[in-house]
Structure 1
Amino acid sequence: MSKRKIEIMDTTLRDGEQTSSVSFSASEKLTIAKLLLEELKVDRIEIASARVSEGEFQAVKNITDWASSHNYLDKVEVLSFVDQGVSINWMIEAGAKVQNLLTKGSLNHLIHQLKKTPNQHFIEVSKVIEQAQQQGIETNVYLEDWSNGMRNSKAYVYEFLEFLSTQPIKRIMLPDTLGVLTPKESFDFVKEIKDKYPNLHFDFHAHNDYDLGVANVMAALKAGADGLHLTVNGMGERAGNAPMSSTIAVINDFMPRITIGVNEKMLFTVSKLVENFSGVMIPANKPIIGANVFTQTAGIHADGDNKKNLYFSDLMPERFGRTRQYALGKASGKANIQKNLQQLGLQLNDEDLKKVTQRIIELGDKKQVVTKEDLPYIISDVLDRTYEEKVKVNSYVLTHSKGLKPSTTVSLTIEEETFEANAQGDGQFDAFMNAIRNVFKNRKITLPNLVDYAVRIPPGSRSDALCETIITWKQPEKEFKTRGLDSDQTVSAIKATEKMLNIIIN
């Protein structure tokens, strides 16, 4: 079965940069361009609109200089305009060799925006194409608002296509400019055009206003489209463009008669770089590249993965340079925890695993997801409990106000007897310790001295990470350490102190 090669043109640096509040610097554009062509291996990149700004000119010049020295110049494209050669001159100075000429693909746009007849427009377009050819610039032509043109002024679209079929151009580009097409329309319109002009190259350019971008792309490919325009992370004006990551996965998995040159293993790397440069965060549930899409949360799913990979599909994370994760939280079962322990190279016996599981469920009720990096701290915290629990801190109130000394009121039970105490201190934890000392002073028990207090969170964690507090205590005859674990630093210190109280009582 012969396969049809499809061109993938990335327009992140042009159409994607029209995302609200996004503007790439010249160096960022060059870095992204290099990755797109050398690592992701797209066929072409559209990098800018002509004559926008001096900064845009410099960005294009940097890219064309690099592309020229690496034999990529014919893959670098610039959006140009029907402007009596102004865009052509701009491109010549910037070193660009391929123009994507923006023309009117609907009669509505032509009449109300340009206020011209079809014949006037065609004559002006032909002059720009001729000027480009004289300067050694290759031309592709955009039919702006083509989708509405096919809906409402089809005769005009075919009149335009008939004209373009006589011109020295390489590609005709069919954009769903406002993202209004359905998959059926995408298929019908593209097939109708390809049947009439089988020898012309047509690109399909989908927007995502109804979240139909990928579906429309599939329909257009089935209808015979020769190329696609995509953006990294689906960036673009309004709801964005058809996303690169999902489209590539869909083509590879569901369209066996189509072949593409994109290296899907680099999709995640490029997506994260664009996320950082653009400041537009990738939603956690974004297919292929989102933080959660290869994360199993339910324990039954992790158990199924252990039993013949029951919850696996062809959408394996390794294809995209990622790994499967198993979330730790209140929905976790032992299978989730075992998967994370395997990744950390740790093993627990059944009894300890049960204790750790219960602790993670407790933490999950307060902190939705416990990270893999938290796990060693949780194990340390749980397995550190080698004493009989005779002291329990029931409740406490910690106050901290500007201009007033911090104070604490605490209630604790010691061997089934409950006490309350209040004290002030230099900080909230110092006030808590003073209140505790007041209780134990009445029982003629001297508390050990605090000689070291260390706080840490797992590497790479966020501000809501689990926090481990390790306190070193000194008694006349020995030193010992206790650990506390919580998402709140002061609470984790209180838990470490509760362990200390149990050790000295026991």
Structure 2
Amino acid sequence: MTDKTDVLIYDTTLRDGTQGERVNFSAEEKLRIAQRLDEMGFHYIEGGWPGSNPKDMRFFELGKRVRFKNARLTAFGSTRRPNVRVEDCENIQTLLAADTPAVTIFGKSWDLHVTDILTIPLEENLAMIRESVAYLKANSKEVVYDAEHFFDGYKRNRDYALSTLEMAWTAGADFLVLCDTNGGTLPHELTEIVTHIRKILPEAPLGIHVHNDGDLAVANSIAAVHAGVTMVQGTINGYGERCGNADLIPIIANLQIKMNRRCLPDASVRQLTNLSHYISDVANIPPQNSRPFVGRSAFTHKGGVHVSAILKNSAAYEHIKPELVGNQQRVLVSDLSGKSNIEYKARELGIDLGTKDAMSTKIVKRIKIMEDEGYQFDAADGSLSLLMKKITGEFKEPFVLECFNIINAKTENNPSLTQATIKIVVGDEEELTAAEGNGPVNALDNALRKALLKFYPQISEVHLIDFKVRTLEGADGTAAKVRVLLDSRDDEEVWSTIGVSTNVIEASWHALVDSIQYKLCKDKLNKHHKED
């Protein structure tokens, strides 16, 4: 792979991405994201539509204070309004006021939109495209022309759709971007149309901008590049209106790793997982585990046959090495597991299974029984680690429960007040204590921590960050067995624990105890390593 860029990456997360449900960024968040994309080597960053809202205009004001090293900050807008002189059009003037080196304007390529939506003559739409592009070029702007609804327009009225492209090109546009705005074009249709455009306008640099309504946005973007397009527009994580835009993460990974089409520096491709998670965090949208290339499950293996194979050669069940995109291989343990899963997890968790298969077989058998009872160890690595240590004899109980009692009280000022009393034994010493909480689980958690704190002060570092309860068999109604999953963290890591019972408090107790015991085992192991 040479240093030459083969495909320009145009990011519109900050504009088109924010049209998706629940996606919203402040001007300051937009600036942080833009700086991150610039560091990664993205070529164009579309910051927003300055004529549509004050926030986007403020973003461009903030952007003037930042020196972008790799990317060209781009303002987005429409062609001039119908029957308005271009120099008098507010849309065009706000694009100039954004003071970006590049601007992107969209125009209508589908005659249906011209006649039925704008309700103007077809000739006026052509004039709007020609005059807008020419005016922006006369004001020293790089102009990216987005041919909105191009593929639908081409299929309905080929000659008119082509005339809109030719109008933008002869007026001086630097890129002609073919848009599948409704996201309904199929890859073979798109390839045929792009190939035809390459013959009609062989000198014009082409771009692609597709939506994901047919779940084909990534495939269509890659097909377009294969047919000769040199700019790909999209968003990080595929955020966007309706079903979203083309997801730039798998597009970049496929183009660069599999098609040898250079998009970004290799070091940036190895940061794609980190970038995906960063954008998710800023957007406050949980990352999808199943997201290709960068999702937590992308290189995760559960079936025993699969795990046995990847231990010999990871290519057996992985299409690329996960490290190429900054991800990592994971192995889960469940009722589908074989000895290979257990041996893999034992190495990962630092557990010695010895040299014989008997211990692995014993652990597999126990896990299958417990999963049949409702446990789910692929979602609870903390509990899995403790179970394996208990079976191998590496685990020693740091405390023993004698009893606990929970009383629910309702007062005028606190309708959910609960009191928990607990007695535990640590070594030769008994500890009896009580605590209050908002509900039985919170009270029990507070009482357990209070009882253990003088023996194990490090549990003050443990914070519960998520609590999930799932009914396993709804037909049993309120008598159904439940599964409780807890996510806990300290300053170093996050771990998950599980409890199952027909009693939600007992299930919660098992998950709470596993969480505390995992922390104590982890600290003991870390201390041992430091002493060694």
TM-score by length of 1: 0.76
| RMSD of equivalent CA atoms | 3.5
List aligned pairs for 1:150-229, cutoff 5 A: 150-229=154-233
Task: Confirm or deny that 1:382 pairs with 2:382.
Answer: no
Task: Confirm or deny that 1:274 pairs with 2:279.
Answer: yes
For residue 51 of structure 1, what is the amino acid of its counterpart?
A: G
Q: CA deviation at 1:193?
A: 0.6
CA change 1:186–1:494 in 2 (3 A) is closer
List aligned pairs for 1:81-480, cutoff 5 A: 81-83=78-80, 84=86, 85-256=89-260, 258-261=261-264, 263-309=268-314, 311-349=316-354, 350=356, 351-365=358-372, 366-368=374-376, 369-383=378-392, 401-402=408-409, 427=420, 449-450=430-431, 452-453=451-452, 462-463=466-467, 464-465=484-485
CA change 1:310–1:81 in 2 (3 A) is closer
For residue 74 of structure 2, what is the amino acid of its counterpart?
A: E
Q: CA deviation at 1:328?
A: 2.1
Contact 1:26 1:58 in 2 (8 A): yes
Unaligned runs of 5+ in 2: 81-85, 397-401, 412-417, 433-450, 468-483, 489-496, 501-506, 515-532
Q: Residues of 2 paired with 1:9 and 1:386: CA distance?
A: 53
Q: CA deviation at 1:188?
A: 0.8
Equivalent pairs counted in the alignment come to 434
Aligned to 1:53: 53
Q: CA deviation at 1:23?
A: 1.4
Aligned to 2:438: none
SS of the equivalent of 1:163 reads helix
Contact 2:404 2:421 in 1 (8 A): no
Q: Residues of 2 paired with 1:70 and 1:490: CA distance?
A: 53
**Whose Rg is larger?**
1
CA change 1:60–1:385 in 2 (3 A) is closer
Instruction: Tell me the alpha carbon deviations over residues 366-400 of structure 1, each in whole angstroms, 9 at most, x when there is no partner.
Output: 2322444444422444355999xxxxx9xx99985
For residue 208 of structure 2, what is the amino acid of its counterpart?
A: F
Q: Compare 223-232 and 77-86 and name the one that shifted more.
A: 77-86
CA change 1:357–1:450 in 2 (3 A) is farther
Q: CA deviation at 1:345?
A: 3.1
Contact 1:51 1:57 in 2 (8 A): yes
Q: Residues of 2 paired with 1:278 and 1:466: CA distance?
A: 24
Contact 1:286 1:293 in 2 (8 A): yes
Q: Compare 52-61 and 2-11 and name the one that shifted more.
A: 2-11
Q: CA deviation at 1:361?
A: 3.3
For residue 367 of structure 1, what is the amino acid of its counterpart?
A: Y
For residue 214 of structure 2, what is the amino acid of its counterpart?
A: Y
Q: Residues of 2 paired with 1:25 and 1:186: CA distance?
A: 36
Q: Residues of 2 paired with 1:82 and 1:334: CA distance?
A: 64
For residue 330 of structure 1, what is the amino acid of its counterpart?
A: D
Contact 2:273 2:326 in 1 (8 A): yes
Q: Residues of 2 paired with 1:378 and 1:10: CA distance?
A: 46
CA change 1:386–1:327 in 2 (3 A) is closer
Q: Residues of 2 paired with 1:142 and 1:291: CA distance?
A: 35
Q: Residues of 2 paired with 1:123 and 1:130: CA distance?
A: 10
Q: Residues of 1 paired with 2:511 and 2:23: CA distance?
A: 41
Q: Residues of 2 paired with 1:355 and 1:278: CA distance?
A: 45
Q: CA deviation at 1:16?
A: 0.8
TM-score by length of 2: 0.73
Identity among equivalent positions (%) equals 22
Q: Compare 129-138 and 96-105 and name the one that shifted more.
A: 129-138
Aligned to 1:32: 33
List aligned pairs for 1:475-494, cutoff 5 A: 486=499, 488-491=507-510
Q: CA deviation at 1:289?
A: 2.0
Q: Residues of 2 paired with 1:386 and 1:219: CA distance?
A: 55
Q: CA deviation at 1:219?
A: 2.1
CA change 1:292–1:309 in 2 (3 A) is closer
4+ residue runs of structure 1 moved beyond 3 angstroms?
1-4, 70-73, 350-365, 370-376, 379-387, 396-404, 425-430, 447-462, 464-468, 484-487, 491-495
Aligned to 1:442: none
CA change 1:279–1:448 in 2 (3 A) is closer
